Structure 1
Amino acid sequence: MKVKEFDEKFDNGEDITKYLDVSKARRPKQDQKRVNIDFPLWVVQSLDKEAKRLGVPRQSVVKVWIAERLEELRH
Protein backbone atom coordinates (compact mmCIF):
# COMPACT_ATOMS: atom_id res chain seq x y z
CA MET A 1 0.00 0.00 0.00
CA LYS A 2 1.26 3.45 -0.87
CA VAL A 3 1.75 6.04 1.87
CA LYS A 4 -0.86 8.35 0.37
CA GLU A 5 -3.51 5.60 0.43
CA PHE A 6 -2.57 4.73 4.02
CA ASP A 7 -2.84 8.38 5.06
CA GLU A 8 -6.24 8.71 3.38
CA LYS A 9 -7.55 5.66 5.23
CA PHE A 10 -6.28 7.09 8.51
CA ASP A 11 -7.70 10.54 7.80
CA ASN A 12 -11.07 8.99 6.96
CA GLY A 13 -11.15 7.24 10.33
CA GLU A 14 -10.75 3.75 8.87
CA ASP A 15 -9.18 0.96 10.92
CA ILE A 16 -5.56 0.84 9.77
CA THR A 17 -4.26 -1.63 12.36
CA LYS A 18 -4.27 -4.51 9.88
CA TYR A 19 -1.67 -2.61 7.87
CA LEU A 20 0.73 -2.17 10.80
CA ASP A 21 3.43 -4.53 12.05
CA VAL A 22 3.52 -3.82 15.78
CA SER A 23 5.61 -6.86 16.72
CA LYS A 24 8.61 -4.66 17.51
CA ALA A 25 6.78 -1.47 18.45
CA ARG A 26 7.92 0.28 21.62
CA ARG A 27 6.64 3.23 23.57
CA PRO A 28 9.47 5.73 24.10
CA LYS A 29 10.56 6.24 27.70
CA GLN A 30 8.22 3.48 28.88
CA ASP A 31 10.84 0.88 29.78
CA GLN A 32 10.35 -0.29 33.32
CA LYS A 33 12.81 -0.61 36.17
CA ARG A 34 11.90 -2.14 39.49
CA VAL A 35 12.68 -0.05 42.58
CA ASN A 36 12.07 -0.67 46.24
CA ILE A 37 10.83 2.12 48.48
CA ASP A 38 10.31 1.98 52.21
CA PHE A 39 7.33 4.02 53.46
CA PRO A 40 6.17 4.67 57.00
CA LEU A 41 3.24 2.45 57.95
CA TRP A 42 0.79 5.39 57.96
CA VAL A 43 1.69 6.14 54.33
CA VAL A 44 1.08 2.54 53.27
CA GLN A 45 -2.24 2.51 55.10
CA SER A 46 -3.27 5.77 53.42
CA LEU A 47 -2.23 4.44 50.02
CA ASP A 48 -4.21 1.26 50.62
CA LYS A 49 -7.27 3.25 51.61
CA GLU A 50 -7.08 5.36 48.46
CA ALA A 51 -6.39 2.33 46.27
CA LYS A 52 -9.44 0.57 47.70
CA ARG A 53 -11.58 3.67 47.12
CA LEU A 54 -10.45 3.81 43.48
CA GLY A 55 -10.60 0.05 43.00
CA VAL A 56 -7.00 -0.20 41.82
CA PRO A 57 -3.80 -1.73 43.21
CA ARG A 58 -1.61 0.32 45.56
CA GLN A 59 1.14 0.35 42.94
CA SER A 60 -1.15 2.13 40.48
CA VAL A 61 -1.84 4.92 42.96
CA VAL A 62 1.87 5.37 43.66
CA LYS A 63 2.77 5.41 39.95
CA VAL A 64 0.08 7.91 39.01
CA TRP A 65 0.77 10.25 41.92
CA ILE A 66 4.52 10.28 41.31
CA ALA A 67 4.04 10.78 37.56
CA GLU A 68 1.61 13.66 38.18
CA ARG A 69 4.01 15.35 40.57
CA LEU A 70 6.94 14.98 38.18
CA GLU A 71 4.82 16.41 35.36
CA GLU A 72 3.97 19.42 37.55
CA LEU A 73 7.64 20.00 38.24
CA ARG A 74 8.40 20.01 34.51
CA HIS A 75 6.10 22.98 33.92
Structure 2
Amino acid sequence: MKAKQFDRKFDAGEDVSNELDLSRARRPRQAQKRVNVDFPDWMLEQLDKEARRLGVTRQSIIKIWLSERLEQAASNNRFPPTR
Protein backbone atom coordinates (compact mmCIF):
# COMPACT_ATOMS: atom_id res chain seq x y z
CA MET A 1 0.00 0.00 0.00
CA LYS A 2 1.31 3.45 -0.89
CA ALA A 3 1.77 6.01 1.87
CA LYS A 4 -0.88 8.36 0.47
CA GLN A 5 -3.47 5.58 0.41
CA PHE A 6 -2.49 4.57 3.96
CA ASP A 7 -2.82 8.19 5.11
CA ARG A 8 -6.25 8.55 3.46
CA LYS A 9 -7.53 5.39 5.16
CA PHE A 10 -6.09 6.46 8.52
CA ASP A 11 -7.51 9.98 8.23
CA ALA A 12 -10.91 8.50 7.33
CA GLY A 13 -10.85 6.52 10.57
CA GLU A 14 -10.44 3.15 8.87
CA ASP A 15 -8.56 0.35 10.62
CA VAL A 16 -5.05 0.27 9.14
CA SER A 17 -3.54 -2.09 11.71
CA ASN A 18 -3.46 -4.98 9.21
CA GLU A 19 -1.12 -2.90 7.04
CA LEU A 20 1.49 -2.58 9.81
CA ASP A 21 4.28 -5.03 10.66
CA LEU A 22 4.11 -4.71 14.44
CA SER A 23 6.64 -7.50 14.99
CA ARG A 24 9.38 -4.99 14.18
CA ALA A 25 7.88 -2.02 16.04
CA ARG A 26 10.05 -0.29 18.62
CA ARG A 27 9.37 2.50 21.07
CA PRO A 28 12.12 5.10 20.69
CA ARG A 29 14.04 6.00 23.83
CA GLN A 30 12.13 3.39 25.86
CA ALA A 31 14.86 0.77 26.31
CA GLN A 32 15.03 -0.45 29.88
CA LYS A 33 18.19 -0.42 31.97
CA ARG A 34 18.33 -1.75 35.51
CA VAL A 35 19.80 0.47 38.22
CA ASN A 36 20.13 0.03 41.97
CA VAL A 37 19.21 2.87 44.29
CA ASP A 38 19.39 2.79 48.07
CA PHE A 39 16.57 4.53 49.95
CA PRO A 40 16.22 5.09 53.69
CA ASP A 41 13.47 3.08 55.39
CA TRP A 42 11.26 6.12 56.01
CA MET A 43 11.31 6.96 52.31
CA LEU A 44 10.35 3.43 51.28
CA GLU A 45 7.48 3.49 53.76
CA GLN A 46 6.19 6.74 52.27
CA LEU A 47 6.66 5.48 48.70
CA ASP A 48 4.77 2.28 49.50
CA LYS A 49 1.98 4.21 51.21
CA GLU A 50 1.53 6.51 48.20
CA ALA A 51 1.82 3.62 45.74
CA ARG A 52 -0.94 1.72 47.59
CA ARG A 53 -3.12 4.84 47.61
CA LEU A 54 -2.73 5.19 43.84
CA GLY A 55 -2.97 1.44 43.19
CA VAL A 56 0.43 1.14 41.54
CA THR A 57 3.71 -0.54 42.41
CA ARG A 58 6.60 1.13 44.20
CA GLN A 59 8.62 0.97 40.99
CA SER A 60 5.82 2.68 39.09
CA ILE A 61 5.48 5.56 41.53
CA ILE A 62 9.24 6.14 41.42
CA LYS A 63 9.20 6.17 37.61
CA ILE A 64 6.16 8.46 37.48
CA TRP A 65 7.60 10.97 39.93
CA LEU A 66 11.05 10.97 38.34
CA SER A 67 9.52 11.45 34.92
CA GLU A 68 7.38 14.35 36.13
CA ARG A 69 10.37 16.00 37.81
CA LEU A 70 12.61 15.58 34.77
CA GLU A 71 9.93 17.04 32.49
CA GLN A 72 9.51 19.96 34.86
CA ALA A 73 13.26 20.56 34.98
CA ALA A 74 13.48 20.41 31.19
CA SER A 75 10.67 22.93 30.76
CA ASN A 76 12.26 25.25 33.33
CA ASN A 77 15.57 25.13 31.47
CA ARG A 78 14.05 26.07 28.10
CA PHE A 79 13.76 29.70 29.05
CA PRO A 80 16.63 30.84 31.28
CA PRO A 81 15.58 33.35 33.93
CA THR A 82 16.12 36.99 33.04
CA ARG A 83 18.08 39.17 35.43
With the length of structure 2 as denominator, give the TM-score of the two structures: 0.86
Q: CA deviation at 1:13?
A: 1.1
CA-based RMSD: 0.7
Alignment of 1:34-49 (within 5 A): 34-49=34-49
Alignment of 1:1-75 (within 5 A): 1-75=1-75
Q: Distance in 2 between matches of 1:4 and 1:56?
A: 42
Instruction: Give the aligned length.
Output: 75
Matched position secondary structure for 2:24:
coil
Moved over 2 A (4+): none
Q: CA deviation at 1:2?
A: 2.0
* Identity percentage of aligned residues: 61
Q: Which amino acid aligns with 2:5?
A: E
List alignment gaps of at least 5 residues for structure 2: 76-83
